Structure 1
């Protein structure tokens, strides 16, 4: 039984032997203590009165009360950049007797009786047995989740929980021009690499400030106007400056198109002059490349067709997994043209 020395037991009535057993799966600690229960208990630590256990092996002993000193602390959510290290630091000042770390309810590492046993993360983890601090290196997105430690020290079981979120740093933001049917710029759109969470902040002429990914342009005739987009998430921050006149030869965002599963779709960049080179990407991974008269596919070859004279990419038999951002870079007369297309494949 985990009781501090300050516990006062008054007016003793009954004497019994109590075996407190926390099952090994849930952090087993077994020890027995002979004591007398009284009418009142004054603990210096918070106590938890749990369920009783019955001994059925002909010992005819009943365990009436489980009085266990437990401290439970939630340390909040921490964001860490992919590839970095992080140390979970439970607040422990007492002498550590045993430690059990879990990740999403599965054991990570256990320390007891001077022995250390790893169940996962052994190649990337370090456990400080004196403090309970667990350090993980080379973090991956799959390492995101709930980490929990149970530390037994001086008869007190302390529980500490940590919520970890591993995310990518924001890439250099890209600015795209959105045009109407007449070719006039109506807005600018800022973006980072696909699937990276970010918030966006714009600044521009006349101390203009705007929050959000898309910035409406009220005066597209001032081609000397300079705008700045800043992308930020909990682990990083990055900015890009954009001159409005770049919309004449720059990056064009063609909006979001929804296509039914199983159908075909053609991405049509607006190119009317002779093409020297083409590179299509899907979620930042190469799809197909055309250069020096040679065509090379990286994915979608069995379902894709590229028109090298126009840059049009057609995909057949679309699947939901084809949803995402398609980008093309086209070299024309020594100048690069960019076009981005957001595709959403819907249906069964």
Structure 2
């Protein structure tokens, strides 16, 4: 029974050691990878990339480090904490990093999955008017992602899409501002539109339509026009009547 319990504990310890932590950094930045588990007595401690490529090797007896060609000048090693710092990161640095302490046996004491990403591009937020300008379609675009949202007066649909690479595009409303946000785990950029712009467009539509007051003005114009015509006709009749009277008198 004791042997079984010891085996279970050993398996749990092995699982916890082999779990990797996800780390995200932008191109050109740096990252420090720290030891995650107790380090047993060792002869060599090796930081390995993608399980086969040595990044750096540290010899405990001689207190010396050896960097692999290709990493020279881009890595720093702390002889007290055994942490590894990678500088000027490139996309090709993305992958699995492990720290292995080698003595009587090999123990994995740190494991990280690093993703090096470009900053996102600035998104673009546009609006498209319909026949009813109080109904507006918003389009939020960022790289190869796009969102369409419908707005009526001061109410807009909030939407979000995410690509498999962890890039997110969202359209949301915060107070009086409509926000188109383009982000990934290392950066974000936005384009905004003020709600008062939608209110102005909707108000313009109201001013352009025929209101009751505008209808009264048209009616009044017609009444005045008819009055003028009737006055002219009446004047013509009176004039003819006067001429006839004068003709008879003479």
Please tell me the TM-score bracket, short chain as reference: 0.5 to 0.7
SS in 1 for 2:92: helix
C-alpha separation between the residues in 1 aligned to 2:146 and 2:84? 31
Query: What is the aligned counterpart of 1:46 among 1, 4, 10?
Result: 10
Q: Which runs of 5+ in 2 are unaligned?
A: 162-168, 199-250
Residue 344 of structure 1 aligns with which residue? none
C-alpha separation between the residues in 1 aligned to 2:194 and 2:67? 55
Query: What is the aligned counterpart of 1:242 among 174, 193, 212?
Result: 193
Name the TM-score, length of structure 1 as normaliser.
0.39
C-alpha separation between the residues in 2 aligned to 1:139 and 1:93? 28
Asked if structure 2 preserves the Cα contact closer than 8 Å seen for 1:77 and 1:164, the reply is yes
Query: What is the aligned counterpart of 1:230 among 181, 206, 228?
Result: 181
Query: What is the aligned counterpart of 1:209 among 143, 146, 158?
Result: 158
Asked if structure 2 preserves the Cα contact closer than 8 Å seen for 1:89 and 1:134, the reply is yes
How many residue pairs end up in the alignment? 171
C-alpha separation between the residues in 2 aligned to 1:89 and 1:165? 16
C-alpha separation between the residues in 2 aligned to 1:77 and 1:157? 23
Higher helix share: 2
C-alpha separation between the residues in 1 aligned to 2:115 and 2:185? 10
Asked if structure 2 preserves the Cα contact closer than 8 Å seen for 1:175 and 1:190, the reply is yes
Q: Which runs of 5+ in 1 are unaligned?
A: 1-7, 9-41, 48-68, 216-224, 247-348
SS in 1 for 2:155: helix
Residue 91 of structure 1 aligns with which residue? 36
**Which structure has the higher relative contact order (CA within 8 Å, separation 6+)?**
2
Residue 65 of structure 2 aligns with which residue? 116
Residue 149 of structure 1 aligns with which residue? 99
Q: Which has the larger radius of gyration?
A: 2
Deviation at 1:174, TM superposition (A): 1.6
Instruction: Return closer, same or farther for 1:43/1:80 CA change in 2, 3 Å cut-off.
Output: same
2:40 corresponds to 1:103: no
